[in-house]
Amino acid sequence: MRRNLLALLLFAVILTLAGCKSAETKDNKEINVGVAFYPMKDILLLIEEDLKAEGYTLNIHEFSEYQTPNNLLKNKELDANMIQHDYFLQAFNNSNNSDLVTVQPIYHATFALYSKDYTALEEIPEGASITIPDDATNISRALHLLGQAGLLTFKDNKTVGITVEDIDSNPKNLQFEDRVPLTSLAQRYSETGLAIMYPTYAKSLELTGDEQRLYVEKQDDVTEGYAISLVARSDNKESAAIKALISHIKSDKVRQFLIDEYSWASNPAF
């Protein structure tokens, strides 16, 4: 009888410890999110305490490029990232046999043609070289912008996945041989004076607002897909953690932050 009593007591202790461990795990749920550029870290810092109140510890991981946070998300070392638009995401999925998904658009970046020397499109001389990003997704976006500006037309009225070979008419004989990584655009623009880039990189040149913007991308059915977004995986997109993250990213205070602190470079997408 005594042996049975000791066994019952031991079993009760094990259950108690297991319950404590379970509660501890529940109270310290972690969300690991990758970011690569302003203002995504700031947005996450803004909602960090709100997530903590729901029992989530937010871990922010910073990167200087875009492949690594996608690979880490694919390999389940991150729960989400905030580094890209849907077109870039689909290109990554196609190249890496992955199932990353856009779960919440955050903002539309003000993609623009910048010029140090011209104040109107008509002033761009024939044969001018325009520096553009070197990745396929942003080449397409840059060329689409020039199409919106009336400087180019494309075969079969193509709007997505555009390449230089798709150009149908180019009245000014513009040149696009100068292609550099997104992170090198600002430095290259300092040399060439004519480039298509994101405001994030223009900021590094202390350009804000409409300063040196010769033409700004217009919102249409194509550019809707370029909203910088929260991305997760197919297997965790419906998880409580991702839903909590979405809820707080869509909050009024994040929207107001984007309006107050980043309206010179973006428009909220929610």
Q: Are 185 and 131 in contact (CB under 8 A)?
A: yes
- pLDDT, position 17: 43
Q: Express each pLDDT in 110-125 by its tens digit.
A: 999 999 999 999 999 9
Mean pLDDT for all residues in the chain: 91
- 168 and 138 together in one domain: yes
Give the integer Cα–Cα distance in Å for 28 and 35.
Answer: 22
- pLDDT, position 110: 94
Amino acid at 48: E
Structure tokens at 120: 């109107």
**CATH number, domain containing residue 72:** 3.40.190.10
Q: How confident is the model at residue 243 (pLDDT cuts 50, 70, 90)?
A: very high
Q: Does 84 fall in a domain?
A: yes
- 49 and 119 together in one domain: no
Q: Does 12 fall in a domain?
A: no
Q: What are phi and psi of 239, to 5 degrees?
A: -70, 155
- 124 and 187 together in one domain: yes
Q: Does 242 fall in a domain?
A: yes
- 53 and 146 together in one domain: no
Over residues 47-74, the mean pLDDT reads 97
Give 227: exposed, middle or buried? Use CB within 10 Å, 0-12, 13-18, 19+.
buried
- pLDDT, position 209: 86
Range of the structural domain that residue 233 is part of: 30-109+226-268
Give the integer Cα–Cα distance in Å for 169 and 43.
Answer: 42
pTM greater than 0.85 (yes/no): no
Q: Express each pLDDT in 184-208 by its tens digit.
A: 999 999 999 999 999 888 888 998 8
